[in-house]
Amino acid sequence: MKDVESLWDLFQKRNVSRRNFLKTCVTITGILGLSPSLISDVVSAAEKQPLVPVIWLHGHECTGCDEAFIRSQSPFASDVLLNMISMEYMDVLAAAAGEPLEHHLQEVMKKYNGKYLLAVEGAVPLNDDGIHCMVGGKTFVHNLKEVAKGAAAIIEVGSCAAWGGIQAAKPNPTKSVSVSDVVSGKTIIKVPGCPPIPEVITGVIMHYTLYGQIPPLDSKGRPKQFFGNRIHDTCYRRPFFDSGMFVEKFDDAASKAGWCLYKVGCRGPETYNSCGNLRWWNGLSYPIQSGAPCIGCSANNFWDNDPFYNRMPNIPVPNAIVNADQVGIVAAGALTAGVIIHGALSTIQHKRHHKETHETEKDNE
């Protein structure tokens, strides 16, 4: 194993131009949600900061987070894996398997002790001594604790790792829990979602790679630049909510017209994620854009928050003590009142104009 290099070292080694290197830095700056004024800082970090060794473990999960990660478009997952980090262990994408791969994991843990970034995908089953998830002949909970000891920081990739996910849904027969329920004393970054947005995964990894520190986190341990807003705050259907224009059922005219999906179960008003601005597949779309309400897949215990297509408890409209049923009436009443007031003012103005014209004609006589 060679010593890790910086991103710029790698570009030079592969005869990639300085121009392309700078374009890459600009792209990374945008993905991280940083101000354009910080591009020079990103360039400096990419020139000097060594590529971070990464170990990626898999527990109780469906591999959907991997499927999302490899579809990242900005940057491409291939660029992250081959050019921006030093991916030392990931059993899904590794060329090796079995004993050679597990032996390599032990070597990496020793060589980069205290320096590697640990990404964990999947929940941790604890029932029956953890036998419900075994890797390399050992329970996942054993492997997780062992690898976590030497990690500089840990990323919980996906809702299963962050909250327990579907494995932890009632009645939770395997007693699955989140990574942070098992590991303590380590810096942990939660990247929930079922699965997470690809660019959110790569963005968090790149932030740590460039700056050698975790991004700013909210009170639940999620990166603020990706989980600082509710889906509701960035939803293009928000004006319909504020106007009291709701889909009542999926085959009605309102659904075809693209009105708000709150009444058919949308969890957007209480779910924090970047779906409304980053979207999926290089910004192509996201569930609400396709006509499906948000099911809150990045929220804790979302699998138990069913049925998904039942409306949430009343959500107040901004600056008004009303709910979704009343807002339409209020909006319609305001419109009617506006028409009446406009008509009354027009009549008064017309009478005043007629009176002034009549007085002018008398003066001219």
For the annotated binding site for [4Fe-4S] cluster, the residues are 62, 65, 160, 194, 232, 235, 260, 266
Whole-number Å distance between alpha carbons of 253 and 266: 18
The annotated binding site for [3Fe-4S] cluster is made up of 275, 294, 297
Region at 26 (left for phi over 0; alpha for psi -120 to 50; beta for the rest): alpha
The separation between CA 225 and the C-alpha centre of its own chain, rounded to angstroms, equals 9
Specify the amino acid at residue 197. I
**What is the C-alpha separation between 291 and 61, in angstroms, rounded?**
27
3-state helix, strand, coil in the chain (%, to 5): 45, 15, 40
Structure tokens at 121: 């995908």
Numbered residues of the known binding site:
62, 65, 160, 194, 232, 235, 260, 266, 275, 294, 297
DSSP H or E stretch at residue 155: strand 151-157
Start-to-end C-alpha separation, the chain? 107
State the alpha helices, DSSP H only, in 214-262: 224-227, 231-234, 238-242, 253-257
The sign of the torsion formed by the CA atoms of 28, 29, 34, 40 equals positive
Tokens of 63: 């591999």
Q: Helices 39-48 & 198-211, crossing angle to 10 degrees?
A: 70
CA distances 56 to 69, 81, 105, 196, 232, Å, are 12, 12, 10, 15, 32
Angle at 215 between CA 302 and CA 50, to 5 degrees: 125
